[in-house]
Structure 1
Amino acid sequence: MNPTALKEHEGAHLDATRQSYDTVAADYARFVKDPGALDPVSRAVLSAFAELVTSSGLGPTADVGCGPGKVTAYLTGLGVSAFGVDLSPKMIELARAAHPGLRFEVGSMTALESGDGELGGILAFYSTHHLPPAELPQVYGEFYRVLAPGGHLLLVTRVGEEEHQRRTYGYGDGDPAPFDSYRLPADRIAELLERVGFAITAQTLQAPDEGEKRPVVSFLARKPTTAEAP
């Protein structure tokens, strides 16, 4: 695909995802659990990430694909200087209303507005699975770019065997909202993270939740310092 066609494809894909989440935003906010009600392993992974980024002192943490801001607020409660970014203006509207003391921005993880090396942490909590696999190197590269050397990434997603699923409905009983989801094997995700320069420091694999078919993988990764770079 030539660069112009690729740009148009990415634009159409992001527009469709934005419109779908705008449609279901209110139902989504009611449907999704508060982080404090998650399983013990998920809470432990978030706590470990919070400890890593607060102890590094390198800068704020971006919760990319933050939705209604529940995880952003949870990280803040753990002492993290966190802000949220989401593609959906409706999600950001809900996040600001629910957490007026926190910072939330409309934006895309494909082109983050943070400067090079500006952040101490990036959280992608079930937010990258709508991206076609061909776009992941660009997005992981953006994560790497905005992190300071020594900064940390936590990426949590469901995994599968190169699967593409298209749903035509969203959350609750709202209007139809199409969602594309892509599930890659964990080793493929790890390979892509390492290819852009991340060092994976920990990885967990959890069995599917009740009602789910696909397991969850969590990657803690770090951007090497200049002294550690090959």
Structure 2
Amino acid sequence: MVEHDALSATREAYDAAASTYAQLFRGALRDRPLDRAMLSAFAEVVNAGGNGRVADLGCGPGDVTAHLDELGLEAFGVDASPVMIELARQAHPGLRFDVGSMAALDIADGVLGGVLSRWSIIHTPPRELPVIVAEFHRVLAPGGHLLLGFWAGDDPSHPPQVFDHAVAPAYRWSPDHLAAMLRESGLTEVARMVREPQPADRRQFQEVHLLARKA
């Protein structure tokens, strides 16, 4: 019940903030060269595996999904917020966007070459995250890649650290702890990028991109 209530609250919060969120972050990748570099590396390793079908989970208004499409991937987006999905469909009518939950994806087993979860696991209650990681593993084909984006906690001895996100309650994670959780689910870390907070950042937290591969 706690997890269900958290998902419902997060969905309602993003529904309410969707238009403002979309305007605020439109074109944000232009000013984030390291983010673009990780997305490009992700696209390259996915395409090298011969299966370019990728799910952008927690896609929001769809701008990153569209960027993946520009990188040559067969990308589609999934988000729990129906309003976000409607905005994504309006902004990118040539792409597919579905309402859905990361904990129960309407995607067949082993069909994806890649999964992107970019700042979408941050609203997941810690006890529920292993279920979502298991879903990532389930939908990936053997050799498929997962790219996670999240904020790091200050103290590695405390894996999840709650903080007051502008839209909904959120958690920061120890990269080592999250990598271990992935490993337990059959996803082996390939690389990670840790970006130190910059003076202009709204959040003065380390940003982490963690790339993993399904055996």
TM-based fold match above 0.5: yes
Give 3-state SS (helix, strand or coil) of 1:183's partner. strand
**Contact 2:29–2:35 (CA under 8 A) maintained in structure 1:** no
Q: Does 1:192 align with 2:148?
A: no
State how far apart, in whole Å, the 1-side matches of 2:209 and 2:28 are: 15
Residue 198 of structure 1 aligns with an amino acid whose one-letter code is L
Equivalences for residues 206-225 of structure 1 within 5 A: 206-209=195-198, 210-211=200-201, 212-224=203-215
* Identity between Structure 1 and Structure 2 (%): 49
Q: Does 1:85 align with 2:93?
A: no
Q: How far does residue 59 in structure 1 lie from its aligned partner after superposition?
A: 4.8
Which is greater in Rg? Answer: 1
Match of 2:123 in 1: 130
Residue 5 of structure 2 aligns with an amino acid whose one-letter code is A
How does the TM-score come out when normalised to structure 2? 0.93
State how far apart, in whole Å, the 2-side matches of 1:35 and 1:199 are: 29
Q: Does 1:55 align with 2:59?
A: no
Instruction: Please provide the CA RMSD for this pair.
Output: 1.2
Residue 221 of structure 1 aligns with an amino acid whose one-letter code is A
State how far apart, in whole Å, the 2-side matches of 1:110 and 1:208 are: 30
State how far apart, in whole Å, the 2-side matches of 1:100 and 1:205 are: 34
| Segment of structure 1 superposing worse, 154-163 or 61-70 | 154-163
**Contact 1:59–1:118 (CA under 8 A) maintained in structure 2:** no
List per-residue Cα deviations over 1:33-82 (Å, max 9, x = no partner): 42541322111000000111122122510000000000000000010100
Please, which runs of 5 or more residues in structure 2 have no aligned partner? none
Match of 1:42 in 2: 35
Match of 1:149 in 2: 142
Q: Does 1:19 align with 2:46?
A: no
Give 3-state SS (helix, strand or coil) of 2:108's partner. coil
List per-residue Cα deviations over 1:106-148 (Å, max 9, x = no partner): 0010111111101110000111100111111111110000000
Give 3-state SS (helix, strand or coil) of 2:105's partner. coil
Q: Does 1:94 align with 2:87?
A: yes
Q: How many residues align?
A: 208
How does the TM-score come out when normalised to structure 1? 0.87
